[in-house]
């Protein structure tokens, strides 16, 4: 490549390519500028409208020099090259080789130099010969110059190559990363590498099509009232600020999974008619350091631009978990930075700036105290599992689209589903429709719903599971044991049915209708423990052999007994002490908060409670041995028996106040 720097002749520069239309993304723009710069450099270093013609030293020495055609010779010191500049007035002579319009200033020819040519000496000799000849004039001197010529473009490229490759790799890497990280459809950040630190909040604007309103939220009456007030804060802030009140900055929706926290937040968005940013706490968390904090910053910047608006952070416990003081190796600095940024931002804007933060979590107990203090999440809205009336409402919503049999009893369904969340109920309704369809029914009836509930609580029925006759007997007596003990113990949950059809992981189950109560007494807990131990007790009494099948029962009562002793203060020896930790502070502490001696005492008390319950179960079974064995035989025969059958065997249950009993259903 010939890298001669042309004289500055701007009129001969090729026109610069037209500027591309302003690129949308920073990423593209950078590329285009880089390419343009490279192209420009190339043109600049290579631009020359005339290329010297190749000649031979022989011809220069024997013709051009003697005939006084040469004005100047330029010896390029770092290349084997000599350039020949002809005298202006002699150019015509060479027009057959140089063309008709050779440039006035050269170089016009060049030749490849070799040391033995002795170019310099030859020219010097010629010049001095002419000078001594006396006819020397300035015009006849052959000038001789030296020049060192670098290939600037190649050298520049050498310098730039390495960083360029680095930058390229970086681009590709980050672009892939950014794509993998999703940034989904409605993401404000868009794709691309420069959006790593952007918030991934989804924006629901006023004119979003599938709006959810408070009408779509069944139950949750108290929570709705609270949340409606927040909508009102945004709609008429003056009403509140006129009286000197400050608009709250945030509200925390707390409640178990599936109870409709997110739905409620979406309804707020639908009702408020303000922009609604939605993101999940885990969206802040990324593998890069500092990304979380910068996303928080970005989220709040966007929110402030759109104020008044609502920011909704789902699963805030992902970032809001309590910062711990001394967690040497479980520390998560990145998460703490994110949380700190969140705290700062929530403090950062004035309370009347029209941004309200809603956050949802099912673990309010693990949240950092700083997050919950007034001035940040000023209020907590508890969203609990729906009660009977609310379940009726929720069923109404989900049954809207279903083809039901006429005279369908909605209240019955609600009674059969205590402890179900809104999401569970939605699941029940859908599953019922699928079950009815599988049976090619025209409409869905009560039995389909009951099957759906059983399926959701207990798992899939596995009728084809092969069980030997001996095992079947064990299962039947085990379940009959549960049934008998729970029937005769006053405070145990009322029984619904007993089955020995395998379902999910269980080979058989006793189904109860637990009372919907707010608090549980020690008697109730003890009776339930005895009933749960009834299965193992029955196995021991009847076969004098015990099986591994009771693992689930034992796990449950062990946890129950531990809770009674260590949390509920229900053991006299321990006293009214609770080692329960609602603050989550001890979560990373491996040490138990009690002494070794107390630990031993706890263990002893747990064992005592369980042993006593087991004795009670056994004594109930021996006392009602006849009914118990009849029940087991009936179960072997029919596979499913209901509380009516038990009533026929044992007579009416002491505390079976059927009409006022609460509703429910849970597998044991």
Task: Give the active site residues.
Answer: 479
Question: What's the min distance (Å) between Cβ of 639 and ligand NHX?
Answer: 13
Which position among 507, 526, 565, 620 is part of the footprint of ligand NHX (CB under 6 A)? Answer: 507
Binder of residue 505, out of ligand NHX, Zn ion, none (CB less than 5 to 8 A by kind): ligand NHX
Q: Is 478 in the site for ligand NHX (CB under 6 A)?
A: yes
Q: Is 550 in the site for ligand NHX (CB under 6 A)?
A: yes
Which position among 81, 482, 616, 618 is part of the footprint of ligand NHX (CB under 6 A)? Answer: 482
Binder of residue 335, out of ligand NHX, Zn ion, none (CB less than 5 to 8 A by kind): none
Q: Is 551 in the site for ligand NHX (CB under 6 A)?
A: yes
CA distance 491 to 661: 12
Binder of residue 522, out of ligand NHX, Zn ion, none (CB less than 5 to 8 A by kind): none
Question: What's the min distance (Å) between Cβ of 473 and ligand NHX?
Answer: 10
Question: What's the min distance (Å) between Cβ of 482 and ligand NHX?
Answer: 5
Question: What's the min distance (Å) between Cβ of 665 and Zn ion?
Answer: 17
413 and 395 Cβ atoms separated by less than 8 Å? yes
Binder of residue 455, out of ligand NHX, Zn ion, none (CB less than 5 to 8 A by kind): none
Query: What is the three-class DSSP state of 358?
Result: strand
Question: What's the min distance (Å) between Cβ of 539 and ligand NHX?
Answer: 7
In angstroms, the Cα distances linking 163 to 21, 156, 158, 299, 538 are 27, 12, 10, 34, 78
- Residue number of the CB closest to ligand NHX reads 549
CA distance 592 to 581: 11
Q: Among 187, 208, 354, which Cα is nearest to 269's?
A: 208
Q: For the stretch 2-16, what's the b/e string if a residue is b when 16 or more beta carbons lie within 10 angstroms of its beta carbon?
A: eebeeeeeeeeeeee
From residue 94 to residue 133, what is the string marking binding to Zn ion with x (rule CB under 5 A)? Answer: ----------------------------------------
- Write out the two tokens for 473: 């007997």
Q: Is 510 in the site for ligand NHX (CB under 6 A)?
A: yes
Nearer to ligand NHX, 247 or 550 (CB): 550
Segment (H or E) for 336: helix 333-348
Scan residues 523-542 and list those touching ligand NHX (CB under 6 A): 535
CA distance 473 to 549: 13
Which position among 275, 386, 508, 627 is part of the footprint of ligand NHX (CB under 6 A)? Answer: 508
Binder of residue 337, out of Zn ion, ligand NHX, none (CB less than 5 to 8 A by kind): none
Q: Among 233, 251, 443, which Cα is nearest to 352's?
A: 233
Radius of gyration of the chain (CA): 44
Which position among 270, 281, 535, 664 is part of the footprint of Zn ion (CB under 5 A)? Answer: 535
Q: How many binding residues for Zn ion (CB under 5 A)?
A: 2
From residue 222 to residue 261, what is the string marking binding to ligand NHX with x (rule CB under 6 A)? Answer: ----------------------------------------
CA distance 441 to 434: 10
Question: What's the min distance (Å) between Cβ of 508 and ligand NHX?
Answer: 5
User: Other CB atoms closer than 10 Å to residue 521's CB: what's the count?
Assistant: 11
Nearer to ligand NHX, 309 or 480 (CB): 480
User: Other CB atoms closer than 10 Å to residue 155's CB: what's the count?
Assistant: 12
Q: Is 553 in the site for Zn ion (CB under 5 A)?
A: yes
Q: Which residues contact 79 (CB under 8 A, 6 or more apart)?
A: 149
Q: Is 553 in the site for ligand NHX (CB under 6 A)?
A: yes
Q: Is 558 in the site for ligand NHX (CB under 6 A)?
A: no
**Beta pairing, strands 53-54 & 355-361:** unpaired
Binder of residue 509, out of Zn ion, ligand NHX, none (CB less than 5 to 8 A by kind): ligand NHX
Q: Is 298 in the site for Zn ion (CB under 5 A)?
A: no
CA distance 571 to 518: 21
Cis, peptide link before residue 571, omega less than 30° from 0 = no
Segment (H or E) for 276: strand 276-280
Question: What's the min distance (Å) between Cβ of 177 and ligand NHX?
Answer: 41
CA distance 288 to 279: 19
Q: Is 448 in the site for Zn ion (CB under 5 A)?
A: no
Question: Which window, 252-260, 440-448, 544-552, 564-572, contacts ligand NHX (CB under 6 A)?
Answer: 544-552
Question: Which window, 101-109, 267-275, 550-558, 586-594, contacts ligand NHX (CB under 6 A)?
Answer: 550-558
- Write out the two tokens for 47: 């631009």
**Beta pairing, strands 355-361 & 309-314:** parallel
Q: Is 599 in the site for ligand NHX (CB under 6 A)?
A: no
Nearer to Zn ion, 201 or 510 (CB): 510
Nearer to Zn ion, 320 or 535 (CB): 535
Nearer to ligand NHX, 198 or 668 (CB): 668
CA atoms within 13 A on the CB side of 581: 11
Binder of residue 510, out of ligand NHX, Zn ion, none (CB less than 5 to 8 A by kind): ligand NHX
CA atoms within 13 A on the CB side of 659: 0
Which position among 82, 123, 252, 506 is part of the footprint of ligand NHX (CB under 6 A)? Answer: 506
Question: Which window, 273-281, 317-325, 345-353, 470-478, contacts ligand NHX (CB under 6 A)?
Answer: 470-478
First to last CA, the chain: 87
The 250-254 sheet, strands edge to edge: 202-204, 276-280, 309-314, 355-361, 250-254, 379-382
- Which residue intervals of 181-236 are DSSP H helices? 221-235
Q: Is 505 in the site for ligand NHX (CB under 6 A)?
A: yes
**Beta pairing, strands 355-361 & 109-112:** unpaired
User: Other CB atoms closer than 10 Å to residue 579's CB: what's the count?
Assistant: 16
Q: Among 442, 386, 441, 450, which Cα is nearest to 412's?
A: 450
- Write out the two tokens for 63: 């013709």
Binder of residue 357, out of ligand NHX, Zn ion, none (CB less than 5 to 8 A by kind): none
Query: Where along the sequence are the contacts to ligand NHX (CB under 6 A)?
Result: 474-475, 478-479, 482, 505-510, 535, 547-553, 668
Q: Contact positions toward Zn ion, by CB under 5 A?
A: 535, 553
């Amino acid at each position: 490549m010939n890298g001669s720097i042309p004289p500055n002749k701007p009129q001969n520069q090729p026109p610069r390519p037209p500027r591309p239309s302003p690129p949308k993304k920073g990423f593209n723009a950078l590329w285009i500028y880089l390419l343009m710069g490279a192209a420009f450099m190339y043109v600049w270093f290579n631009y020359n409208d005339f290329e010297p013609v190749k000649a031979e030293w022989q011809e220069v020495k024997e013709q051009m020099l003697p005939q006084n055609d040469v004005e100047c010779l330029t010896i390029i010191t770092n290349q084997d090259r000599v350039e020949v500049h002809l005298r202006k007035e002699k150019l015509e002579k060479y027009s057959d080789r140089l063309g008709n319009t050779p440039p006035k200033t050269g170089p016009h020819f060049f030749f490849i130099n070799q040391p033995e040519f002795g170019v310099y000496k030859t020219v010097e000799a010629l010049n001095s010969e002419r000078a001594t000849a006396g006819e020397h004039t300035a015009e006849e001197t052959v000038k001789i110059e030296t020049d060192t010529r670098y290939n600037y473009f190649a050298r520049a490229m050498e310098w730039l190559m390495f960083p360029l490759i680095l930058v390229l790799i970086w681009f590709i890497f980050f672009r892939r990363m950014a794509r993998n990280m999703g940034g989904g459809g409605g993401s404000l950040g868009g794709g691309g590498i420069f959006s790593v630190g952007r918030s991934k909040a989804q924006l629901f604007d006023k004119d979003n099509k599938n709006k959810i309103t408070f009408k779509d939220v069944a139950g949750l009456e108290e929570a709705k009232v609270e949340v409606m007030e927040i909508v009102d804060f945004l709609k008429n802030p003056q009403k509140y600020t006129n009286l000197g009140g400050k608009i709250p900055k945030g509200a925390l929706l707390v409640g178990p999974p599936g109870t409709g926290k997110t739905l409620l937040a979406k309804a707020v968005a639908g009702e408020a008619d303000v922009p609604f940013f939605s993101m999940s706490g885990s969206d802040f968390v990324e593998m890069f350091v500092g990304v979380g904090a910068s996303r928080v910053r970005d989220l709040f910047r966007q929110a402030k631009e759109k104020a008044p608006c609502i920011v909704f952070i789902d699963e805030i416990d992902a970032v809001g978990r309590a910062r711990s003081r001394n967690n040497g190796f479980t520390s998560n600095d990145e998460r703490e930075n994110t949380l700190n940024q969140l705290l700062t931002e929530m403090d950062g804007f004035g309370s009347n700036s029209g941004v309200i933060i809603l956050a949802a979590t099912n673990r309010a107990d693990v949240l950092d105290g700083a997050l919950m203090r007034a001035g940040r999440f000023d209020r907590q809205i508890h969203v609990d599992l729906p009660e009977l009336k609310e379940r009726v409402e929720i069923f109404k919503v989900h049954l809207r689209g279903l083809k039901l049999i006429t005279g369908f009893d909605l209240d019955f369904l609600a009674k059969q589903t205590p402890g179900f969340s809104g999401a569970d109920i939605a699941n029940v309704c859908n599953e019922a429709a699928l079950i009815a369809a599988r049976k090619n029914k025209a409409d869905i009836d009560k039995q389909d719903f009951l099957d759906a509930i059983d399926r959701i609580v207990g798992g899939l029925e596995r009728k084809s599971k092969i069980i030997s006759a001996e095992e079947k007997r064990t299962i039947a007596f085990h379940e009959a044991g549960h049934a008998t003990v729970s029937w005769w113990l006053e405070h145990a949950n009322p029984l619904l049915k007993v089955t020995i059809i395998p379902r999910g992981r269980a080979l058989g189950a006793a189904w109860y209708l637990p009372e919907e109560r707010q608090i549980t007494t020690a008697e109730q807990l003890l009776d339930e423990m005895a009933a749960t131990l009834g299965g193992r007790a029955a196995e021991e009494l009847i076969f004098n052999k015990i099986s591994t099948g009771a693992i689930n029962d034992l796990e449950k009562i062990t946890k129950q007994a531990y809770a009674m002793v260590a949390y509920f203060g229900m053991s006299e020896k321990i006293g009214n002490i609770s080692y329960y930790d609602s603050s989550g502070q001890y979560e990373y502490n491996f040490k138990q908060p009690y002494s070794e001696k107390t630990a031993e005492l706890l263990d002893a008390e747990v064992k005592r409670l369980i042993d006593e319950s087991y004795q009670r179960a056994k004594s109930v079974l021996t006392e009602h041995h006849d009914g118990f064995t009849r029940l087991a035989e009936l179960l072997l025969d029919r596979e499913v028996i209901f509380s009516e059958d038990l009533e026929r065997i044992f007579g009416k249950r002491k505390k079976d106040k059927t009409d006022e009993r609460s509703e429910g259903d849970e597998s044991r």
